[in-house]
Chain A
Amino acid sequence: SQQGEEDPQALSIQEGENATMNCSYKTSINNLQWYRQNSGRGLVHLILIRSNEREKHSGRLRVTLDTSKKSSSLLITASRAADTASYFCATLDSGGYNKLIFGAGTRLAVHP
């Protein structure tokens, strides 16, 4: 199954604008996580939202979770050029032992 599919695949915005990325998933989850990956680098954990939470904030990040629609969104406010990266949502496989299932990611480009 394709758990954690993001859209859009690519997003190009100007500095100062907000960026919204969406993620859909198919199975029941305990939590959903967002990671950032700078080009050719490792994955940086951004935020985790549990299935009983609807919204969570961390600095300029806002994550929402709608379990009825099996979807999540990541909003980055007042974007900066340094936010340029790929963003992935990931869910823990309900039948697995902490196995993260990643989506294909959204490539965000923030232009100065």
Chain B
Amino acid sequence: EPEVTQTPSHQVTQMGQEVILRCVPISNHLYFYWYRQILGQKVEFLVSFYNNEISEKSEIFDDQFSVERPDGSNFTLKIRSTKLEDSAMYFCASSSPATVDTQYFGPGTRLTVL
């Protein structure tokens, strides 16, 4: 069964460094999303992406964040200058045009900022 994959599974970085989190959505999906979950807290929406542009972004998604679909398969989240409070689990999700309401999530990348 097709699934969303994410790499790396765990990323440790120093405060101020740039990180890129990678996702490969399900192949026929056209809608892409990033969410994050700080330890012990709710899953929070960051951004949605469709037709090569951001559809919507949350207040969390400030100028330090960017997303890109560099080729036909990858979807990336970049954090330019990481802060301690960026430490969280980051989930990528995708949905298809036929069932756009149902989002399929990847296993997540745990980001630890030291």
Contacts and interface: CB of A to CB of B under 8 A. Distances in A.
Interface of A: 30-31, 33, 35, 40-45, 48, 88, 90, 92-93, 96-105
Given A31-B101, A96-B48, 17 more contacts: A30-B101, A33-B101, A33-B102, A40-B110, A41-B108, A42-B105, A42-B108, A43-B105, A45-B102, A45-B103, A48-B101, A93-B45, A98-B95, A98-B100, A98-B103, A99-B58, A100-B35
Determine the main DSSP class of B at the interface with A: strand
Interface in B85-114: 89, 91, 93, 95, 100-108, 110
Contacts of B58: 99
B48 A99 contact: yes
* Residue among A40, A98, A104, A105 facing the most chain B CB atoms (10 A cut-off): A98
* Residue among A88, A90, A97, A103 facing the most chain B CB atoms (10 A cut-off): A97
A100 B4 CA distance: 17
A92 B37 CA distance: 17
B45 A43 contact: no
Contacts of A103: 42
B101 A98 contact: yes
